[in-house]
Structure formats: C-alpha cells, structure tokens
Structure 1
Amino acid sequence: MSTETLLERIIDYVNRANPYPLYAELRENGVSRQNDGSYLVGTYHEIAALLHNPRISSDLRNRTEPNEALARPDGLSPAFIRVDDPEHDRLRRLTMRPFGPPHSPGRVDALHDDIEEIARELIDGFRGRERIDLVDDFAYPLPVTVICRLLGVPQENMPQLRTWTNAVIESPDRSPGDDPAGQHAGMDARSAMANYMGELAAERAHHPSDDMISELVHDEGPEGRLTRPELMTTLVLLMIAGHETTINLITNGMLTLLRHPEELARLRREPELMPSAVEELLRYEPPVQMLPQRTPLTDIEIGGTAIPKGAPLFLILASGNRDPLRFENPDHFDPARRDNQHFGFGSGIHNCFGAPLARIEAQVALTALLDHLDDPQLAEDPPPYRHSPILRGPQHLLLVRTTGAAP
C-alpha cells in the first residue's frame, strides 16, 4: 500500500486500537510525503533533532496554507504551546511562576498526599461493585479533581468542563470524512471555556484565594502580568492539558498491565519499580501519539527528504518511541527498562509543562489500583477507543472483578 496514504490510515478510527504496525511501516520508509502535501516523521533521532530545531515552528500561522477553521478569529491569544520563542518563553515563564521552580518549587510535591486521598476515595466507591469503568470511575475524576483544586475551579462545574474539553480535543482530528463543522464546534467550546475562566479570574481579582488562578491574576513578577486574553487562553490550556493526558496515561497503563500479568505481578512484588514502570508506559503506550502542528520556517532536509517552507509536518512521537535504532526490543514492555529517554512528554522547548504532576498522579493511581483490585479482568479487549488519534486512549475500560467486590 502507498506510503502517501499513511496519515489517512493512521487517523482512520479502524486502526485506533493498534496503530503500531503503521508506525513500523512509516519508520521503514523514512520521511513520508502524503497526498495532502504534509510530511510524516517517525524515526527517533530525526524527531529529536526536529524538536530541538529553531527552524521548526509551532505557530500555525506560519503554514503556507493555514487551516481556515483553526485560524478563525475569536478574540483569544494563541496558547503558549502554539507560539514560538521569544513569545513562547515569556508566556511559559509567567505561567510557571506559581506552578514550579524556581518560584514555587514545592507546589507539585505538596499535592502528593491529596492525590493519594483522592485515589483512596475513588477506590472506596468500587465497594460492592463487580464491574468498573476505569475511565469514568477513576482515571477521569482523579486528575480533573486535582487540576480543579490546583487552579481553583469549582468542582460542581466539572460536567460542563468535560463537555467543552471533549469538543476541543476532538476538533483537530483529520479523519476521512470529517466535517469542518467539528473544528468550529471545538473553537466555540474553547471560546466558552475561555470566557468561563475569564470570569473566575475576574472574581479572584477582588477575592483572591490560595490557588493558581489567584496567583496568576495578582503576580507582579519582573515581566508584569499576563494580559486578560493571555490569561484566559492559558487557563484553558492548563485545565485541558492538566487532566486529559493523565486520563490516557492511567488508562493505557492499566490496560497494558492487564495485558502483561507477569509484569503486573512483578510490580506488586516490587512496588519500588513503579516510577520506572510509568516511564516505560510513557514510551510503550504514550498518551500523546503525535504532534501535528509543526511547520518549517525555511526549506529543510530530513533523512534525505527535502521539505519545503510552510509545509505541514507531523512528528509521530509514538513511532519514535518504538524505533529499534534507539530502543532495544522496543515492542517489549519492560517496567525496569534503563536508558529510557522517551517522547512521552515531548522534548525541547515545548516539553510538557505538567509532566511532574502527571508522573506523580500516574504513580499514585496505578499503585492504588494494584493494591486494592485483587484480580481485575478486562470485559473486552480491545476496548472502545476515543476518536482522537492524537490523544489516544480508551473511551471506556470495563473491568470485571472475579474474586470478590471489596476494595
């Protein structure tokens, strides 16, 4: 089959449960030009070089043919993951001040006990139940509760936030037959969420609390404050990114362990391996499969292929994570793997802002599940997957408990 159709096949939902044979095909053929003029890169060393190349832009406005739906004006500033330095650096540093070092070095670590408490409360809710949906009953509420507390978002608004988030997440898909109306729906949801976040920020301007929104509103750092549009867009990004990737990390992680019972048993015997296991899960089944929004600022050459300025560039991170030229036995899941410099959180200047928090959440969540679920079995395998090929994970993961229903 032609490599010029690889992107269509990767994003086709029929391949969502197992895209890895397609990624192997991509690696075998090097950089692949697609029928629509985009280019796919799936080898580890080429992806790493591009993620650190200042000639590769994250700003869609640098495309030769910008996506009209995504470029539709809505009065909002681009999120810092969609702009380049120096603007990206300024926005990211302002946002990092209340989140992590050097200004708030203990904020994430201080959440550890709260995350453990939330995990225990959710698992207590399994009592007496023989069937559990790991997504709805655990993997979604855990990180969304954490990010709501961290930002200062009222938890009673979680259902509306989930509706908006789902619309935003699904909108960038390029599956065959997709209607541009889906992208407009995503923009509408993003605008609605941004307005909601703006209202919360306006409230905290007069009534500050001990949360990140208050600190972002009142922070008087050396570079001043975020503008109101910048603040609204940044809060939307933090809210969505603060739980969506972690949902997939926890769910993909538990699915992988259930498919590898010998490694699940090993982690129960050797719980000290959990941090290493989470890193391996980020390599083996990463929650972010690809970065579709990269653009060369000038003509470049990758692996002997010339790519023109302004062409859409897709970096298939999940393919690079299984490149045999970088990882020994890459299709084998090894929770004790060494030298595991994966792309689970990207790399370069756009390396995931919330990676420290996601790591803690995944380690706590999987440890709690292994400690309290005696003998869970998959109700179906493969499970139904979410539509997005970018943030890939099960939409539901039904577990059947065969040795009793007590946590």
Structure 2
Amino acid sequence: MKQGILTDILDHSHRADPYPLYAELRKTPVYHDGEGPYVVSTYHEIMALLHDPRLSSDQRNRTAGAADPLAEEDTGDSATLPPGFLKLDPPEHDRLRRITNRPFGPPHSPHRIESMRGDLDETVKNLIDDIAAGTSGNGEGTERIDLVDQFSYPFPVTMICRLLGVPREDEARFHVWADTLAASLDPDPTADQAERAKVTQDARMELGMYLAGLIEDRRKNPRDDMLSHLAAATGEESMSTMELLSTAALLLIAGHETTVNLITNGMLTLLRHPDVLQRLRSEPGLAVPLVEELLRYEPPVQLLPQRTPLVDIEIRGVTVPKGAAMWLVLAAGNRDPQRFENPDRFDPDRKDIQHLGLGSGIHSCFGAPLARLEAQKALSELARRLENPRLLEDPPPYRQNAVLRGPRHLMIACDGIRP
C-alpha cells in the first residue's frame, strides 16, 4: 500500500487519537489510492452498505491479488478452524447465527441475559472489592489501579466463560490464543508475514483442540450453558463438529475482546469528562444513554476490513469493482458531521444516537445485549465506588491493533474505594 492516510491510520503512533485522520478521510467518502482497499468513511454510505446484500463478508469472494494489508491468508489447511459465521454470507451465515441464538436470546431463550444480572452484579462487586484489598498506596491514602488488568479484562472474560461453560481457570491458556487471533487483524509491515500466518494458524488449531475437549465433555455431562445446548442440538437445527468449534471460538474471543475496550474507553472518557462522571455517580440511570454515546464516540471496533462486493457497486460516484477489498470505517462514520451535530463532543444527552458502534444489518454484533449490560454495570459501579478517580497517564499506552482499538493499560489513582 502506498504511503498516505491509510498508512497513517494504521500507524501505532496515531492510535491514541485517530479522529483527525478520520475527518481528513471523510473528505474523500470513497477513498482508493490505486492499489489498496476501497475505504468508505461516511455514515450514510456505511449504513447502506451494512444492509446491502451485494456486499460479502466471505473472503473467498475476494479477487485473487486484491490488495488489502488486513486480509488473512488462506492457508488451505483443513486442520485449522473454518471461518466463523461473522465471515460468512447467507444462507450459511443465517443458519449458523440462528442456531447459535437459540440458547442465547429471544425467542427461544428470552431470559438468558436477564438471568445473568445477579452474576454481573456479584462479579463487579467482587472485582472492585479485590482492587480495594490489593491496591498499592503511596502512604497518603492514594490508590493506584491498572483498570485493564484488574477490572476491564477479567469482568467480561468471567461472564463469557460462565455463559459458554468454559472453565474460568483456563483463562491463562486461551488468553494467549485470543491475543494472537485478535492481533492477526492488524497489519505489521515489519513482521515476517509467513511466520505471522503460521503463528495465527497454530493458535486457531490449538484453540479448536481445546474447545473440542470441552464440547466432548459437555456431550457426556451436559450443563445449563451454551456449549451444552449447542452440542446437544440435533437435526436441521444443529451444527457439524467443525462449525460448532468455529462458532465456540468466535463467541469466546468476540465475547470479551470488544467489551474490554468498551469498558476501558468508557472510563477513560469519563475521567476526561468529570462532570459526566459526577452525574453518573448520582444518576445511575444515565448509564444506558451514556453507553450508547460511548459506542458512537469511542467505538471498540473501529473498522470492518473484510468486505467484498459481489458485483460492481457505485458509491458516491465511485465504482467499486466486484471482488475488490473494501473497508468500512465505523469510527469515522460515527463522527460524520452530516449525520451528528457536534460529532466530536461527548454528550450522553444526545438524542437519536443511531450509531455504528455495534454494526448493523445481518452482521450486527451478536453479543450486543450482554456487552451493553456489562458496560452499564461496570461504569456505574466504578463511578459510585471510586473516590476522586483520576488519570495517571493521558494518553495511556494503546494496544497495537487498529481494528480493535483500546488502551493496553489504564493507570488511574483514587483516594479510596467506597464499600
């Protein structure tokens, strides 16, 4: 890819604040440098494309040689997991998503998420209690906390493990695989690409083998968890073994990676807007619209890089050819002034927040109900219990990933932790 604005967006030095680059990108709503992907950055065009059946999420429809630095290499190795339904088109996508939803949400399991409220409350309480018990003060009553390691990561990981039926004590094992697979979304021109592809493939295979063992156990000893329900399904509403493994891997990784970013980005934003933090402390109901505004203002998924037109598509006077690589930059669309008034302002009282933070259309975020609830609980309790919280480093260090953007650590101080 040529040196230019896409190179800048992918450059880690811009990770803390990519929004000026997105504003520049929107000046060319359909950007193409002649050899890289076609990049769409304006709200209305992205929303239309998310609902356009002519746009594929299946990379097998990508024309050979279509330049895309984020494209995953197809190794052709049948030993690794097949694509999850996130990377498939109808009818395969619709069938797998429908089957997966049976033990997760309406109409077959309408109370699944609601029934988790007690566990959510207890887990948040325990994590903050653990922080209170183990914080390192400076001798003057000031507590130092790494919010990512001590709260934002363990909270959604604990909940997705309980939902799926994955032993929480195995986190150290699947954390490595999850990090590797999440990192595979992000280009690193300095890395050995063949070695990176091998490491990614190995992680997928090891995760698949681990999940295969869990699924076999659930078939013999079923419990009230999603893996047990999916493994027990029969007939037309069942998956093949490889489909089940791929779906389980997708749910395990996507079920916590994005929520870690949502909670961390949320607390960072609140600490930069202390007036809103104070409001949340006294108005717990503010958490609902606040999280929606966060999903617009600082979305945990910045862009969708794996889209391909099935036919030539014209967008804003630009013809995107069949089989081309296409990116949809959700975070740029979320701050499009043609759609949102004062888009760079964080405003939880904003009306009509029809954001792109959880996608839209058939590939809208599968776990959105749980992610929303987790973020609402987390931010409300942090606001209520931390006394005088403040940032120790701003901007914080960010993860390498340009797609799943969020701080790697968020060091904060507070004067104490309320019971």
1:164 counterpart = 2:177: yes
Q: Over residues 367-407 of structure 1, what are the superposed CA-to-partner deviations in whole Å (9 max), with x where a residue is unaligned?
A: 11001101111110000000100000000001112x23565
Deviates more, 1:25-34 or 1:78-87: 25-34
* Structure 2: distance between partners of 1:34 and 1:294: 17
Quote how far apart the aligned CAs of 1:35 are: 4.8
Equivalent residue of 2:301, what SS? coil
Q: Could you tell me how far apart the structure 2 residues matched to 1:310 and 1:81 are?
A: 18
Counterpart amino acid of residue 81 in structure 1: L
C-alpha spacing 1:405/1:91, structure 2 compared with 1 (3 Å): closer
Question: Within 5 A, what are the aligned runs for 1:173-322?
Answer: 173-180=186-193, 181-220=195-234, 223-322=236-335
Letter in 2 for 1:20: Y
**Residue in 2 aligned with 1:361?**
374
Give the equivalent residue in structure 1 for 2:46. Answer: 47
> What code does the residue aligned with 1:196 have?
Y
Whether the 8 Å CA contact 1:126–1:406 is kept in 2: the answer is no
Amino acid at match of 1:140: Y
CA contact (8 A) 1:115 1:364 kept: yes
Q: How far apart, in 2, do the equivalents of 1:350 and 1:45 lie?
A: 17
C-alpha distance in structure 1 between counterparts of 2:417 and 2:42, whole Å: 45
1:104 match: 109
Q: Between Structure 1 and Structure 2, how many residues are aligned?
A: 404
**Deviation by residue 1:147-183 (Cα, 9 ceiling, x = unmatched):** 1011111111101111110000001212433431223
Is the CA contact (8 Å cut-off) linking 2:387 and 2:417 kept in structure 1? no
Are positions 1:94 and 2:79 aligned together?
Answer: no
Q: Is the 8 A contact 1:245 1:391 kept in 2?
A: yes
Residues of 2 paired with 1:4 and 1:51: CA distance?
28
- Find the aligned partners of 1:185 and 1:293 in 2 and give their Cα distance: 20
Q: Structure 2 CA distance, aligned partners of 1:121 and 1:189?
A: 31
CA RMSD of aligned residues (A): 1.6
Counterpart contact for 1:8–1:176, Cα < 8 Å: no
Deviation track 1:258-286 (CA, whole Å, cap 9, x = no partner) reads 01111111222322111000000000000
Provide the C-alpha distance between the structure 1 equivalents of 2:53 and 2:117, rounded to a whole number of angstroms: 36
TM-score (norm 1): 0.96
Q: Which runs of 4+ in 1 moved over 3 A?
A: 66-69, 404-407
Partner of 2:86: 81
Q: Which residue of 2 aligns with 1:71?
A: 74
Give, in whole Å, the separation in 2 of the partners of 1:337 and 1:364. 21
Whole-angstrom CA distance in 2 between matches of 1:365 and 1:326: 29
Gaps in structure 2 of 5+ consecutive residues = 136-142
Q: What amino acid does structure 1 have at the position aligned with 2:132? A: R
Matched residue SS, 1:125? helix
Whole-angstrom CA distance in 1 between matches of 2:226 and 2:336: 39
Check conservation: 1:251, 1:397, Cα contact below 8 A.
Answer: yes
Instruction: Tell me what 2:138 maps to.
Output: none
Contact 2:258–2:301, Cα closer than 8 Å, also in 1? yes
Q: Which moved more, 1:161-170 or 1:122-131?
A: 122-131
Contact 1:34 1:40 survives alignment (8 Å):
no
- Provide the rounded CA distance (Å) in 2 between the counterparts of 1:199 and 1:9: 43
One-letter identity of the residue aligned with 2:5: L
Residues 143 and 247, structure 1, Cα contact 8 Å, conserved in 2: yes
> Which one of 334, 338, 344 corresponds to residue 351 of structure 2?
338
* Residues 182-191 or 95-104, more deviating: 182-191
Quote the offset at 1:74 in angstroms. Answer: 3.5
- Check if 1:20 corresponds to 2:19: yes
- Give the conservation status (yes or no) of the 8 Å contact 2:307–2:327: yes
Residue number among 389, 397, 400 corresponding to 2:410 in the alignment? 397
Q: Structure 1's 327 and 4: CA in aligned 2 closer, same or farther, altered over 3 A?
A: farther
Whole-Å separation in 2 of the counterparts to 1:252 and 1:179: 31
Partners of 2:327 and 2:338 lie apart in 1 by: 20
**CA apart distance, 1:255:** 0.1
1:62 is aligned to 61
What corresponds to 2:130 in structure 1? 125
Name the aligned partner's letter for residue 12 of structure 1: D
- Contact 1:151/1:211 (8 A) holds in 2: yes
Identical aligned pairs, as a percentage? 56
* TM-score of the superposed pair, with normalisation by structure 2: 0.93
| Shift of residue 3, structure 1, vs aligned partner | 9.5
The unaligned stretches of length 5 or more in structure 1 are none
- Structure-2 separation of matches of 1:345 and 1:218: 30
